[in-house]
Amino acid sequence: MTTAPPVRPADAAVAEAFFDALVRADEQAAVDLALGLVDAGTPAQDVLLHLVGPAQVRVGQLWADGDWSVAQEHAATCINERVVAAVGVRSRAPGQRGHVVLGCLDGEWHSLPARIAGEVLRLAGWRVTFLGASVPPAHLISYLHEHGPDLVAVSCALPIHLPQAHRTIAAAQRTGTPVLAGGPGFGPDGRWAVRLGVDAWVPTAADAVVLLESPSWSDRAVPGRTADGGSEYAGLRDRRAELVRAALDRLGGASPLADPDGSGGGNGLDGQAHDDVGQLVDYLAAAVYLCDADLFTEHVRWLGAVLSARGLPRTGVAVVLDVLAAELHDFPVAQRCLREGCDVLAAV
């Protein structure tokens, strides 16, 4: 007897049907489609990596382009999380290869990629304990001491969290637990993961499965110049509140991401002015910590593009950069980051 080949989640029609369910916030339709693929013989890993993952990337891009509101993005993300859970329940796998503790760095709330990675590792035979978003370092280390896993995997989407991550990684390794890092927050090709001293970095969950096939995977760490930020980072952190106040004074208390005349159609970016300025300062601090201007300039480039997509001015961001440059005149790494950031913003 012959059977029809399973439907591939990468098929355009299947992908569009799934995304249409996200657009309509139809959780049941999305879950039914994903489980239907699994029941028809499509490997659960493929459903997660080639259907749910790309759909979530598309969701994020629609928000960045100003086509979706935060509410729409959150609704679709929640449905994708439910789909991942449903596929995981439908696809049982023995966890005989070892124990992985997986979580997002402190302050990192983008947990869906980590959850997908956890399910992919579980399908490959690992017992996975997923600790969720924004795991406080002390709690993570306590958990490692208590449960003694074979490895800890940390996920980071935004590099703003990397200075704090360095301490978490070092503390985890002091427990004797090797650290596997993943996510775009660790930089192109994992360059910042290497600087932070992780045992290994992987770009995708599928790569993690392949890497962990080798029992000596944690011996492959590439030596790199360890980041510490030096006195410049410490000085910048000490002056954070002062820098935020100076920028807010120049902005008249408004957010640098503000929609001054409503031209963004209610789809602006500004939240709390203090937080919006503070995030720019924190990205600068992370770049100084790693001594890599690209970390800061890529955030400025992204911010400029997101503002432009909404028809919003970039002048508020430019004001913050000018204030920081004036206040940090004796911080050479910060000065380089700010000069390059201004050039990038002007070119967006």
Query: For residues 287 and 281, what is the distance between their CA atoms, to the nearest angstrom?
Result: 10
Residues 245 and 296 in one domain: yes
The whole-number pLDDT of residue 230 equals 84
- pLDDT of 4: 45
Query: 121 and 236, same structural domain?
Result: no
Backbone angles phi, psi at 224, to 5 degrees: -145, 165
Distance between CA atoms of residues 281 and 327, nearest Å: 12
R_g of the chain, CA atoms, integer Å? 22
pTM score of the predicted model: 0.89
Q: Are residues 23 and 98 in the same domain?
A: no
Regions of the chain short of the pLDDT cut 50: 1-5, 223-224
Residue 96 has a pLDDT of: 85
Q: Which SS3 state, helix, strand or coil, does residue 210 take? A: helix
Instruction: State whether 309 and 205 are in the same domain.
Output: no
Helices (H) and strands (E) in the chain, counts: 16, 5
Distance CA(57)–CA(91), nearest Å, equals: 24
Same domain for 30 and 114, yes or no, is no
Are residues 167 and 278 part of one domain?
Answer: no
Rounded CA gap, 197 and 208, in Å? 17
154 and 269 in a single domain? The answer is no
Cα distance from N-terminal residue to C-terminal residue, the chain? 59
Query: In this predicted model, what pLDDT tens digit does every residue of 338-348 receive, in sequence order?
Result: 999 999 999 98
| CATH assignment of the domain containing 100 | 3.40.50.280
Domain that holds residue 112: 93-227
Domain boundary among 47, 67, 92: 92
Round to whole Å and give the CA distance between 13 and 24.
Answer: 16
- The verdict on 282 and 223 lying in the same domain is no
- DSSP letters spanning 124-157: TT-EEEE--SS--HHHHHHHHHHH--SEEEEE-S
Residue 2's pLDDT is 42
Instruction: For residues 248 and 269, state if they share a domain.
Output: yes
Q: What is the CATH number of the domain that holds 14?
A: 1.10.1240.10
Domain final residue pick, 194, 227, 260: 227
Judge if 25 and 103 occupy the same domain: no
Spell out the residues 6+ positions from residue 231 whose beta carbon is closer than 8 angstroms to its own: none
Query: What pLDDT, on a 0 to 100 scale, did the predictor assign at position 221?
Result: 54
CATH of the domain at 317: 1.10.490
Pair 108, 211 in one domain:
yes
What is the number of structural domains in the chain? Answer: 3
- Final residue belonging to a domain, choices 200, 227, 254: 227
The reply to whether 88 and 98 lie within a common domain is no
